Amino acid sequence: MTDPTTMLASFLSDTFFGRPQISWKALAELCRRVGTSLEAGVDQRRIWTREAQHARGRAARWFEHVRQQVAAGNSAAEALAETDGFVPPIVSQLAKVGEETGHSEQVFLRLAEHFEHFILLRRIFLIGILWPALELSGALLIIGLFILALGMIAQMTGQPIEGVDPRLIGWRGLLLYVCSLIALMAGSVWLYRWTRSNATLANGLARATARIPGLGATLQATALSRMAWTLAMAVDSGMDARRAMRIGIDSTQHPLFLPLAGALDKQIVRGESITEALQSTGAFPRDFLDAVAVGEESGRLGESLQHVSQVYRRKAEFAAKTLTAVATVATWLLVAALLIAMIFFVFTYFYLGQIQRALEPL
């Protein structure tokens, strides 16, 4: 039977930190190594033997599983699909396309480019929000010191501070303040993990997030870039339209596009073109539909989709920079509000309060 301590540790780890997954950077590097090796003619068994030998932690377990499956003559794509979500589904899906068409090296190299672009977008956002986040941390620190200072002032003067609960200032107040911040952060992380585990809530939250100005545009542009890129890969590999569309929609991981998979499949079965199927949903932008239509009419759908993928990639980068600017301004406003509130309190109590107390005898 599992040790209770181990069960508790596992529960806390999954609740607050989620199930460990391969990082985007490690995934991009993996795809780059595998693609380069395949392009150089290295055997799959040798590739995954090397990956299993050099992997650490949870990656070692799953890469060893892939190595064993490949050594037994099974599909690497199917083995990647059995990693319990450690490797994203898009990797195993497109790896299978590569195996069926004999273009595995191109698939992995393009996957590497895709994940490297995602890392770039994330870096743009994090760098932009770093300084405001430091300012917010500084403001929270100042508030903590202010709480401590109020307690010391009350202790030195021997008089309580009017309008302030003595239990909320001094060392006791500082401890309560720090514990409140920790509880708020832990609660936010727990709520995020719990929401992700609840499919209904997660879908509703994702839909709401997708409609937020700035953030919604970034998510949509990224999703459409990924879909166009995936469709181009599938079409160029000779995959049939139904399966290509299904993989393309799955690759978006966007709450506004994922529910359309069934309707799109029915349209394709009826014999409609990809353009007509996409247009019937009313969910795709005009320029995206125009690019698909031009590609189908000219017989160069894969090339046209690659181009529109690059266009939406640039749109995603611009939207990410815009979102970063908005988040930066919002953080600055929050810091300013906190500091103004502190200044107002100090002015009201220590200046106006002193004047009022001096006038009381009169």
CATH number of the domain to which 243 belongs: 1.20.81.30
Cα–Cα distance, 98 to 90 (Å, whole number) = 12
Task: Give domain status of residue 2, yes or no.
Answer: no
| pLDDT value of residue 358 | 57
Q: Are residues 138 and 94 both part of a single domain?
A: no
Q: Are residues 142 and 105 both part of a single domain?
A: no
| pLDDT value of residue 352 | 56
Region 196-212 average pLDDT: 66
| pLDDT value of residue 9 | 42
Q: Are residues 221 and 334 both part of a single domain?
A: yes
In Å, how far are 191, 208, 214, 262, 322 from 211, measured between CA atoms? 21, 5, 9, 23, 15
DSSP state at residue 238:
T
Per the model's pLDDT, the better-predicted residue between 116 and 351 turns out to be 116
The pLDDT of residue 10 is above 60? no
Which tens digit of pLDDT belongs to each residue from 258-280? 888 899 999 999 999 999 999 99
> Domain range holding 219?
132-362
Reported as a pLDDT band with limits 50, 70 and 90, residue 11 is very low
Of 60, 84, 114, which one is at a domain's C-terminal end? 114
Q: Are residues 108 and 154 both part of a single domain?
A: no
Scanning the chain, the segments in alpha helix (DSSP H) are 4-17, 24-39, 44-54, 58-71, 76-81, 89-101, 104-157, 170-197, 199-210, 215-236, 241-252, 261-269, 274-281, 286-298, 301-346, 353-359
Q: Which residues contact 46 (CB under 8 A, 6 or more apart)?
A: 37
| pLDDT value of residue 332 | 80
Cα–Cα distance, 129 to 92 (Å, whole number) = 34
| pLDDT value of residue 4 | 43
Q: Are residues 254 and 218 both part of a single domain?
A: yes
Q: Which residues contact 29 (CB under 8 A, 6 or more apart)?
A: 112
Q: Which residues contact 347 (CB under 8 A, 6 or more apart)?
A: none
Task: Give domain status of residue 345, yes or no.
Answer: yes
Q: Are residues 349 and 230 both part of a single domain?
A: yes
Looking at every residue in the chain, the average pLDDT score rounds to 80
Reported as a pLDDT band with limits 50, 70 and 90, residue 71 is very high
Of 88, 114, 140, which one is at a domain's C-terminal end? 114
The pLDDT of residue 312 is above 70? yes
Structural tokens at position 34: 């595998």
Total of domains in the chain: 2
| pLDDT value of residue 197 | 64
Q: Are residues 261 and 137 both part of a single domain?
A: yes
Q: Are residues 217 and 281 both part of a single domain?
A: yes
In Å, how far are 44, 60, 223, 266, 359 from 97, measured between CA atoms? 16, 25, 20, 22, 85
Region 269-294 average pLDDT: 91
Task: Give domain status of residue 341, yes or no.
Answer: yes
Task: Give domain status of residue 4, yes or no.
Answer: no
> Mind giving me the DSSP string for 143-169?
HHHHHHHHHHHHHHHTSPPTTS-GGGS
Task: Give domain status of residue 60, yes or no.
Answer: yes
Least confident of 92-96, 197-201, 350-354: 350-354
The pLDDT of residue 349 is above 80? no
Region 218-233 average pLDDT: 83
Of 66, 88, 114, which one is at a domain's C-terminal end? 114
Task: Give domain status of residue 219, yes or no.
Answer: yes
Q: Are residues 297 and 197 both part of a single domain?
A: yes
Region 110-137 average pLDDT: 81
Task: Give domain status of residue 124, yes or no.
Answer: no
Alpha carbon of residue 242 to chain centroid: 28
Which tens digit of pLDDT belongs to each residue from 29-47? 999 999 999 999 999 999 9
Reported as a pLDDT band with limits 50, 70 and 90, residue 341 is confident
Residue with tokens 């599983």: 65
Q: Are residues 100 and 152 both part of a single domain?
A: no
Scanning 253-300, the segments in alpha helix (DSSP H) are 261-269, 274-281, 286-298
Q: Are residues 72 and 141 both part of a single domain?
A: no
Name the residue among 325, 273, 289 with its Cα closest to residue 124.
Answer: 325
Q: What is the pTM of this model?
A: 0.65
Name the residue among 244, 59, 88 with its Cα closest to residue 77.
Answer: 88
Task: Give domain status of residue 235, yes or no.
Answer: yes
The pLDDT of residue 353 is above 60? no
| pLDDT value of residue 31 | 94
Reported as a pLDDT band with limits 50, 70 and 90, residue 321 is confident
In Å, how far are 20, 31, 40, 217, 222 from 51, measured between CA atoms? 18, 11, 16, 37, 30
Q: Are residues 137 and 109 both part of a single domain?
A: no
Least confident of 130-134, 167-171, 349-353: 349-353
Structural tokens at position 35: 């693609």
